[in-house]
């Protein structure tokens, strides 16, 4: 199998970091992107490059801030100039606010969407002209089980992931005739640094008015930090493995791939299976069956 040129956003930690390592080990040409590679992520950059080099592979790390359109466009152009193509884009960059939804100001929500939603929209638009010209490509959108179901205090995060699911699914249909797949990966509750780095809501007066309810998000974070101290903690590598299988698939890929910790079932797969036929029937009735 010939390796593919793969760009991964948000590669400094979590699923992104695991994914770039997995794909590089499989022989793909991987471009890991992140912010501040000369500063706070300089150590991560060196760690990634050395880990792959020790196994006889190569990994490129480039500066890219998905919240900055000029940064996205210039980095994608650099990758195309160096490698002549981009076969796969993995939209993984994201942040997870956990708090009283009303207490997040509009500016707070805009900062969240700048990364979780518009970040992917920018990256998709930057790579798609090259993929359409090539007649092939794959867009992977890492969302969450909270892109399908809603939990209290995750309202703004869920909203960003619901939006990303809609964008990814629309691309699924519109890009089929160009030989491009757009797919969604929905991870369950795996340990990550998302909760520990969760942005707090800015509106203190709203928080004060919620009384004891305002303390619940902090309790959620505390309980989650201790929830995985078992003998068999969830393995986030499962998400990287699922993404790698999608990258290497030769047939048309499924629209949604749910990745839950072993032994856990929150019903997201069943929800997808229930909604799929309704969506397909609607498009068929509108004369769009060829886009499925």
In the chain, where the domains are located: 5-291
The rounded mean pLDDT for the chain is: 95
- Give which of 80, 186, 83, 170 is closest to 121, Cα–Cα: 170
What Cα–Cα distance (Å) separates residue 68 from each residue in 35, 64, 74? Answer: 10, 8, 10
Q: Is the pLDDT of residue 80 over 80?
A: yes
- Give which of 92, 108, 117 is closest to 30, Cα–Cα: 92
d(C-alpha 76, C-alpha 74), whole Å: 6
Report DSSP letters for 92-127, one per residue. -------S-GGGS-HHHHHHHHHHHTHHHHHHHHHH
Residues paired with 34 in a beta bridge: 63
Structure confidence at residue 225 (pLDDT):
64
Q: Which residues contact 83 (CB under 8 A, 6 or more apart)?
A: 5, 29, 31
Note the pLDDT tens digit of each residue in 98-114. 999 999 999 999 999 99
Residues paired with 29 in a beta bridge: 5
Mean pLDDT of 255-276: 96
Report DSSP letters for the chain, one per residue. ----EEEESSTTSHHHHHHHHHHHHTT-EEEEEES-TTTTTHHHHHHHHHHHHTTT--EEEEE--TT-HHHHHHHHHHHHHHHS---EEEE-------S-GGGS-HHHHHHHHHHHTHHHHHHHHHHHHHHHHHT-EEEEEE--GGGTS--TT-HHHHHHHHHHHHHHHHHHHHTGGGTEEEEEEEE-S---STTTTPPPPS-HHHHHHTGGGGGHHHHHHHHHHHHT-SSS---THHHHHHHHHHHH--SPPPSEEEE--TT---SHHHHHHHHHHHHHHHHHHTT-GGG-
Under CATH, which number does the domain 5-291 receive? 3.40.50.720
Question: Can you read off the two tokens belonging to residue 151?
Answer: 């939990």
Q: Which residues contact 129 (CB under 8 A, 6 or more apart)?
A: none
- Residues identified as active-site: 157
Give Dmax (Cα) for the chain: 59
C-alpha torsion angle, residues 212, 218, 222, 227 (rounded to 10)? 90
Contact by Cβ (8 Å): 87, 6: yes
Structure confidence at residue 239 (pLDDT):
97
Note the pLDDT tens digit of each residue in 9-63. 999 999 999 999 999 999 999 999 999 999 999 999 999 999 999 999 989 999 9
Task: Using a cut of 0.85, tell me whether the model's pTM lies above it.
Answer: yes
Question: Bigger pLDDT: 220 or 288?
Answer: 288
């Amino acid at each position: 199998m010939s390796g593919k040129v793969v760009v991964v956003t948000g590669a400094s930690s979590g699923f992104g970091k695991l994914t770039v390592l997995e794909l590089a080990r499989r022989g793909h040409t991987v471009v890991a992107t992140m912010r501040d590679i000369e500063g706070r992520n300089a150590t991560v950059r060196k760690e990634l490059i050395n880990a792959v080099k020790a196994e006889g592979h190569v990994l490129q790390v480039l500066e890219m801030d998905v919240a900055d359109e000029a940064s996205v466009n210039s980095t994608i152009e650099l990758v195309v100039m160096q490698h002549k193509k981009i076969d796969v884009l993995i939209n993984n960059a994201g942040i997870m606010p956990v708090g009283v939804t009303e207490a997040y100001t509009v500016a707070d929500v805009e900062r969240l969407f700048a990364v979780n939603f518009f970040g992917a929209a920018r990256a998709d638009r930057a790579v798609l002209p090259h993929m359409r010209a090539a007649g092939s490509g794959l867009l992977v959108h890492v969302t969450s089980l909270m892109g399908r179901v809603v939990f209290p205090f995750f309202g703004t995060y869920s909203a960003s992931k619901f939006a990303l699911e809609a964008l990814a699914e629309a691309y699924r249909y519109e890009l089929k005739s160009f030989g491009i797949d757009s797919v969604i990966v929905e991870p369950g509750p795996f340990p990550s640094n998302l909760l520990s780095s969760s942005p707090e809501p800015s509106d203190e007066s709203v928080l004060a008015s919620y009384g004891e309810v305002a303390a619940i998000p902090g309790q959620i974070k505390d309980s989650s930090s201790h929830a995985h101290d078992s003998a068999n903690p969830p393995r986030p590598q499962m998400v990287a493995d699922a993404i790698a299988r999608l990258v290497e698939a030769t047939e048309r890929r499924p629209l949604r791939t749910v990745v839950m910790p072993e032994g856990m079932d929150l019903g997201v797969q069943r929800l997808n299976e229930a909604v799929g036929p309704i969506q397909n029937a609607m498009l068929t009735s509108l004369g769009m069956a060829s886009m499925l």
